Amino acid sequence: MIKIAAIAALIAAVALALLSAAQSRRAEKRWPQIGRMVTVERARLHVIERGAPDAPPVLLLHGASANAREWLHSVAPLLEVDHRLLMVDRPGYGYSSRPARAQRLETQARLMAGLLDADAPQGAIVVAHSLGAAVALRLALDRPELVRGIVLAAPASHPYPGGNAWWANLAAAPVAGEAFSYGLVPLANGAAQGAIRNTFRPARPPATYYEEAGVGLAFRGGAFRASALDVTASKREFAAQAPRYPEIWQPTIIITSDRDRVVSPHIHARALAEDLQAAELVTAPRSGHMPHQIRPDLVAAAVRRVEEIDASRAAE
């Protein structure tokens, strides 16, 4: 009986793995790679580019459980007329590879610096959402000459009380995490709509958000596990770099909501505005954790505002 049960369990596990792999392939067919691949060190970064090649560059970094498509139908249409936009899948997300120690903010910032060294050595405005904001801040700390200004939407930046969500802890576990991420998560794509509603709340998500942002790509095993590893490392990583925030001198605009169910504006956005040398805090009421989606006009205006400040500084 024990042998039969073991065989049955093995067959079930194989069937589950095959179903999950098929679901991941369907997601990739639905949202294929639409950018170019750039090699930085040993990592392959997927970069979606829009705008004029000779226009001022803007680097856009998404948050957890997302990809570079996050910006395509929100902020990009407002900026691509007079900017060169570099929208990047962070390591392990979308179509970018995941190098060793990628959960460290220093590693991700170094890869973004390598991209700018090759594509925008004169420096860029950096726009980032949620956990991507911590990467943008680390980039400004480690390679300040590459950052002309910073625009952050619902940033995650400081150590926070409590732990992480159960799914992140499970998916980040050494062995069980891989089995969970690659075996079960691709079959749980139906949970995406609930997660989207919670992230946008109290705002209502755009009806087209799931499709336009390629949300299904986050439910592939590798991308889901990458997000979990980043999330579970974030508290430690924030604690290590937060004391350095007063070193950041670039003009910065922080856009936050009055009500964010995912990242506390008090712990992160407001504390960050006090830490930085040249920061402005803008509130987008009732925009939840997604002010860049609900009020992309504020993000576009912030980019132009930091450009003006940077230009006036250069003229002095």
CATH superfamily of 35-315: Alpha/Beta hydrolase fold, catalytic domain (3.40.50.1820)
> Whole-model pTM?
0.94
Q: Where are the beta strands (DSSP E) in the chain?
A: 36-40, 43-51, 57-61, 84-88, 124-129, 147-153, 252-256, 279-283
Nearest in space to 248 (alpha carbons), one of 215, 276, 226: 276
Question: How much is the pLDDT for 192?
Answer: 85
Domain regions of the chain by residue span? 35-315
Dihedrals phi, psi of 156, to nearest 5 degrees? -110, 120
In terms of DSSP H, where are the helices of 31-172? 76-79, 105-119, 131-142, 166-172
pLDDT tens for the chain, 316 residues long, are 566 554 444 444 455 566 667 878 998 999 999 999 999 999 999 999 999 999 999 999 999 999 999 999 999 999 999 999 999 999 999 999 999 999 999 999 999 999 999 999 999 999 999 999 999 999 999 999 999 999 999 999 999 999 999 999 999 999 888 888 888 777 777 788 999 999 999 999 999 999 999 999 999 999 999 999 999 999 999 999 999 999 999 999 999 999 999 999 999 999 999 999 999 999 999 999 999 999 999 999 999 999 999 998 888 7
